[in-house]
Structures are given as structure tokens and as C-alpha cells.
Structure 1
Amino acid sequence: MLNNKRESFWQDVVTKLTIAMIYAVLYSMALNFFWQPGHIYSGGLTGIAQTLSTLAERADNINIPISVIYYLLNVPMFILAWFKINRKFVVFTIIAVTFASFAIQIMPNMTLIEDPIICAVFGGLINGYSMGLALKHGISTGGMDALIITLRQATGISVGAISMAFNGVIVLTAGFLFGWPYAFYSLVSIFVSGKTTDLVYVKHQKVQVMIITQRPDVVIPALQKKLKRGITAIPQAYGAYDFNTQSVLITVITVYEMEILAAIMKKVDPKAFVSVSQDIKILGTFEELDIV
């Protein structure tokens, strides 16, 4: 048992490191291949870093690498994550930010296309996918992630929506300083990035599941053991076709947990009828079980 836990731990570490490297490469491609050549400000700490780098170059002709500014801006976020989330989260945040900063520095600036709209869309797609992929595997991508995740846990608002709110303010500031047309292109990129992140990272999306089963004594313990979700049971229901007595179980889970529920039902009661309702709204308390 101990060996299995140790093996599982190292498999998780290797997976997270691999995902962190993939994120870093994709993120640097979005910045160096699309945002920078297209004069698109990405928002977040990267947008702030872009703005500060441009201001320094215009004011005193000082070339400060975006990667350096980006890393320094992340330090306060490391501190927030340390106190508000947990140490493991901070460790992988530092790793992801270090990988990303290094990738930004060594990735060449390539002008694939000069059209700002195309640069905005493709930069947003690549960035949104990379961020969603990292968050899906429990890795913070630095930037404002710690702040965004803290707010998501407190409010239940999606990661993409919170990101767009913060980034909108930052890009409007950049537009005021450097030109409104590029601010609007940047908003397009932020919108695309936020929507792509939400498509990949689905832990905040909730669904209501109704299970009709003749084996509630087996199904309920299995679901509660793996999902740790509350379940409302309606006993002594019957089907109008054959009038067999059955139980109706109702629970709310995240889209991310659907695969777990499906696997459990296939194992303990493959004959059960399972209905899933999407786009629901929660008015009561819904516990966020995972860090991200």
C-alpha cells in the first residue's frame, strides 16, 4: 500500500511537471509569435509586464525583458497562494512561472502574420488552452491565478469571467497609453482566451444528476466514497410501466466529476437510469473539493 501511494505520488509529480513545460512552451508561443508582433496586450500580469516594458523603453530607452518583469510581478502572488491556498500549490506555481519566464526569454520573436485580429484570436486560443490545460491538472500558471482562484472559491464565478474582468481593466489602461485600436484587439484576445479556458477547465461547471436505481444501498456508499457529495434519496418510487419499486437519487456534481460518476455507476449498477441536467444554478452551499 505504501509503495502504491509513493508510486502514485511520483506519477502525479511527473505529470504536473510535464504539463507545466507544455504550458510554458504554448504560453511563450502566444506571446512571442502573436501578441508581441501584433502589438496585443494580453492582460493579467503579462499585460502589466508588457505595459511596463513598453513604458521603460519609451521613457528612457531601457530594454527590460518582459520575462524578468513577469517573474518579479509574480512574487506577491506566490505569497498570496502560500497563505490562501497551500504549499504544494505554491511549489508548482513557482515551477510553472519559472518554466514560462525561461520559455519567454529563449523563444524567438517571430512575426508569423501582422494582422492584429488574427494575432489576437490565435494568441488568445493558444493562451486559453494552455491555461485551461494547466488548471485542469491542478497547476497554477502564475499571474493572477492565485487571486482568481481565491475569488472563484468565494463567489463561484467562472475562472474565465473573473479573468476577463481583471484583464479588461488592464487592457483599457494599455489602450489609454498606447492607442485604442490595439486595446480593442486585446479585448478580443482576452475574450477568446477566457472562453477557451472555460472549455478546457470545467471544474466550476455544475450539473444535476438524477439516478433511478433498485440498488440504493450499494450506489449511495459508492458515490459518497469517491465524490463526497450530498445525495437526496427518494425511496419507494415506482415506474409507471411495470410498477417496480425503485429509488430516486439526486445530487449535484461538477462536469469534471462526471467521468468518476459514470465509472462508479457502470461498476455498481449498470442497469440504473441516469439523467443529467446541465446549466444549473446553485443558491445554497456547494463545496469546492479541489484546489483549482
Structure 2
Amino acid sequence: MFRIVIIFLASILLAVAYNLFLLPHKVLSTGVSGIAMMTSLLTPVNTGIVNLVLNLPLFILGYLKLGKKFMGYTIFSVLVNSLALVLIPIQPISTDPILSSTFGGVLAGIASGLIFRFSASTGGFDIIGLLLTRKKEFPLGSLLFFMNAVVVFVSGFLFSWDTALYTLLSIFITGKVIDAIHTSHLKLTLMIITSRGEEIKEVLLSRFVRGITMLDGKGAYTNEKRKVLFMIITRHELAEIKKLIKETDPKAFVNIMETVEVMGFFNVNHN
């Protein structure tokens, strides 16, 4: 229940960032939300409606490939956000586009970071990215950068290059705030030390298409035998995996490390 409340409030906060800070100055967000905002500025259709329509086919794909629980929270987030975008009037809080871009970016980053932290996403490019990384090792960071660059580039042609630079500033700030709340690296390495290695392995493999390497370990002080599991994941999967590990073995020791680069087959099972 607490998770649903946080996702609900964060989704409304995201709409506040868009309608009160960014959209009044034609400053765009990232990904599908940015495309929806751009469409609403050029047509009489509300951003929330466009955002929901653009996400519908992604919902179907995500529901089939990414799991019902994760997509359930994601769909809930997008629905609340889209409804809030319709209900909250587009009214500038500040007349200064730099201040609006900055504070809008901060609010959007806080909202998105909280949504990620509680095992959901804001839809759009996040779903596309997760679908691609489930299939094979894919340069997700480069893909997201390219997609966001297209949004900035198009906004410069459609509106003005000042607007495009404000959009770039907002996107940069949003990313930094998300990094502070969630995690800055797209991929992470988990080292899990547990007495319930087989149970944790089965739980994780049943929910995620990820390889796990298992080693035998022994405590230096206690001499008790343990299993050591190594697993590379994407940052979007972190919250759910932590929850599953805690439910399976509350005493498990988990070390979460930043992963700069991965060579080989990201999804191959090595156990």
C-alpha cells in the first residue's frame, strides 16, 4: 500500500513539473513524455492524452515480456500521471525560463527517481530500454542518449534554439536528481552471500532473464559454508531484486557494485 501511495504522489508531482514549470515555456522532458509535450504544444490535444496513447502499445509488450507486477505499477503510474496532466492547468509559476527549467527538472527528477525506487517506471523509453536489454546485450545508454538528443534537436527547429537549450538543461538536471535518488549506473553487479543460495537462485531466475554465477564460500571467522552469487542487472531491476532477496533470506549479505562495462553475454546463465 505504501508503494502505491508513493507512486501515486510521485506521478502527480511529475505532472506538476510538466504543467507548471516546463510546458508554459515550451521546455520538454525526455523520451515519450517529451514527444507528448511537443505534440500538445503543436495541437489542441492535451499532453496527458497523447502520453497515454503513445504508451498503450508499450504497455502490451511490457506486460507480456517484463512481468505483471512491474508493468502493473508502471501502468498505474502512467495513468495517474496522464490524468493529472489533464486536470492540472498549464500555468507558469515563474516567468523566467531558466528558473522554470531548473526547478521543473528537479521536480521531474525527484518524481521519476521515486517511481524507479519503488519498482515501477514512467513508461515510454524505459519500457523500450528494458525490452531491448532482456533480448541481448544492447548499448542502452547510447540508445537513450540518441532518443533524447532527437527530442532536443526537433524542439530547436519547431520552437527556438533557446528553448532547445532550456530543454537540454532540464533533461540534464532531471538525470542528475534521478541518479542521486536511485542509482547513476545503468548496470550493477550484485554479490550475494547467503546460506540459502539455491532458493535465492530459483526465485531470481524465475523472475528475471539474467545469468547467475554461483561459488562456494566459507566464513573466515565462523567457518560456516555459504553460497556466493554474482549477478549483473539493470538499475530498473534493483528495487525488485532487493525485495526478493530480503523475502527469501533476510540475513543475506548483498554488495551492490557499479558496473562500468560488460563483455560477453549479459543474459546467459552461467550457474
Q: Aligned runs of 1:1-292 on 2, under 5 Å?
A: 14-56=1-43, 63-154=44-135, 162-202=143-183, 204-207=186-189, 209=191, 218=195, 229-233=212-216, 252-253=230-231, 256=238, 267=251, 278-287=258-267
Q: Deviations over 1:69-96 (max 9, x none)?
A: 2222222222222333234444333322
In the TM superposition, residue 20 of structure 1 has moved relative to its aligned partner by 2.4
Change (3 A) 1:277 1:98: closer
1:103 aligned partner, one-letter code: A
Classify the secondary structure of the residue corresponding to 1:37: helix
Q: Percent identity?
A: 26
- In the superposition, the TM-score normalised over structure 1's length comes to 0.68
Provide the secondary structure at the position in 2 that maps to 1:186. helix
Checking the alignment, whether the CA contact within 8 Å between 2:216 and 2:227 is kept in structure 1 is: yes
Task: Tell me how far apart the structure 2 counterparts of residues 266 and 20 of structure 1 sit (CA, whole Å).
Answer: 25
Work out whether residues 62 and 71 of structure 2, in 8 Å CA contact, stay in contact via their aligned partners in 1: yes
Cα distance in structure 1, aligned partners of 2:53 and 2:30:
16
CA 156–192 in structure 1, closer or farther in 2 if over 3 Å, else same = farther
TM-score by length of 2: 0.72
| Alignment CA distance shift 1:281-1:160 (3 Å) | closer
Q: 1:205-225, CA deviations, whole angstroms, 9 ceiling, x for partnerless residues?
A: 4247598xxxx9x58668757
Give 1:38 deviation, angstroms: 2.8
Structure 1 counterpart of 2:21, which letter?
Answer: F
What displacement does 1:146 show? Answer: 1.5
How many pairs align? 256
Q: Which amino acid aligns with 1:195?
A: K
Distance 1:259 1:16, change over 3 A: closer
* Whole-Å separation in 1 of the counterparts to 2:92 and 2:163: 17
CA distance in 1, matches of 2:263, 2:225: 25
Question: Aligned-pair RMSD on alpha carbons?
Answer: 4.0
The change in CA–CA distance for 1:232 and 1:281 in structure 2 (over 3 A counts) is: farther
Give the unaligned 5+ runs of structure 2: 206-211
